[in-house]
Each structure stands twice: as structure tokens, then as C-alpha cells.
Amino acid sequence: MTTTPISLPDGYSFRKLKSSDYENNYLETLKVLTTVGEIKQSEFEELICHWESLPDIYHPRVITNNSGLIVGTGMLFIERKAIHECGKVGHIEDISVFESEQGKKIGNFMVCSLAKIAKEKGCYKVILDCDVKNIGFYEKCGFKNSGIEMVQRFDK
């Protein structure tokens, strides 16, 4: 698997998500991926505090443009297993790139960077779920199809 990310465009940076990012385009960038709903700033800050309280598990990352706005999102979640000698599996989630920034390899950089973090944290593999229409993108990031996702959704 290729985990060496390509370079970001000049002026762009990759960093951890911060509670101050509530007003920095984070939720708007996530809306490109899926339904976000209404999230109050206090709820967002509480979520960030929860993630920060478990630094071995949650690795939320963002990419900012040269204006400092968040244009890419991603999350690495690390799960401890009983199998593989109590090994760890990395789960890549919530990959989203703001529409005006697509085509600049920002998503590729995010996915490859999260896979690299998973490897550095000792994961024996890193996995993700994706829509069929996104298979080609993830193959360009070094992933291969390895199964079928099953889901059971619950009404609120």
C-alpha cells in the first residue's frame, strides 16, 4: 500500500482539528460528504474535548488553504483487537474536500497521511468504507477492494 502522501499545494497545511475550527469551515467541508445537521458551538467543543481525551484512539485531521480555511477533513480511528496478538486496526473515516478545492490532490494527501499515521501507531492494517463511485479514488491512494460493507441503520 502506498502511504507516502503527495505534496499539498503551496500555502496549504495539514494539522489536527481544534475546537476553534467550528467557525473555520470544518462543518461546511463535512457537508460535502454527508448530512451534518445542526451542531451548536458548545456541542462541537464538547466533541473535540472527548476526542482529545482519547488521543490513542481519535486522530481528527484537517487541511487548510492559504487563507487558513479548512478545505479537507479526515479521521483516523484506532481500534484495539483481541485478534492478531491484541493488534490495532486503523479506520479512515469522514474524508471530505470542499467542492471548490477538489482536483488538487487534497483528498489523496489526507488519505495517505492518515494511513501513514496508522502505520506509525502500530496498526497491522488500515481500512475504510466507501461508495462504489469512489473506488477508483481510493485505489489511487493505495487501497484495494477487500470485501463488502454491510449496514443496519436505526431510526432516531
Q: What is the domain-level CATH number for residue 78?
A: 3.40.630.30
Q: Within 10 Å of residue 84's Cβ, how many Cβ atoms? A: 11
Q: Which amino acid is at 120?
A: E
In a domain, 88, yes or no: yes
| Average pLDDT over all residues of the chain | 93
Strand ranges inside the chain, DSSP E: 13-16, 58-64, 70-80, 88-97, 123-128
Distances (CA, A) of 82 to 56, 85, 149: 17, 7, 21
- In the prediction, which pLDDT does 148 show? 85
In a domain, 105, yes or no: yes
Give the Cα separation of 59 and 62 in Å (integer).
10
In a domain, 150, yes or no: no
How many independent structural domains does the chain possess?
Answer: 1
In a domain, 148, yes or no: no
| 3-class secondary structure, 97 | strand
In a domain, 3, yes or no: no
Q: Select from 130, 141, 71 the least CA-distant residue to 106.
A: 71
The pLDDT of 19-32, averaged and rounded, is: 93
Longest dimension (CA), the chain: 45
pTM score of the predicted model: 0.91
Chain segment 34-78, per-residue pLDDT in tens: 999 999 999 999 999 999 999 999 999 999 999 999 999 999 999
The pLDDT of 12-32, averaged and rounded, is: 95
* Residue pair 27/71 in contact by the 8 Å Cβ criterion: no
In a domain, 8, yes or no: no
Q: In what order do the strands lie in the sheet with 13-16?
A: 13-16, 58-64, 70-80, 88-97, 123-128
Q: Select from 56, 75, 61, 63 the least CA-distant residue to 123.
A: 56
In a domain, 101, yes or no: yes
Q: Is 86 left (phi over 0), alpha (psi -120 to 50) or beta?
A: left
Containing domain of residue 78, as a range?
13-140
In a domain, 146, yes or no: no
Bridging pattern class, strands 70-80 and 88-97:
antiparallel
- In the prediction, which pLDDT does 5 show? 58
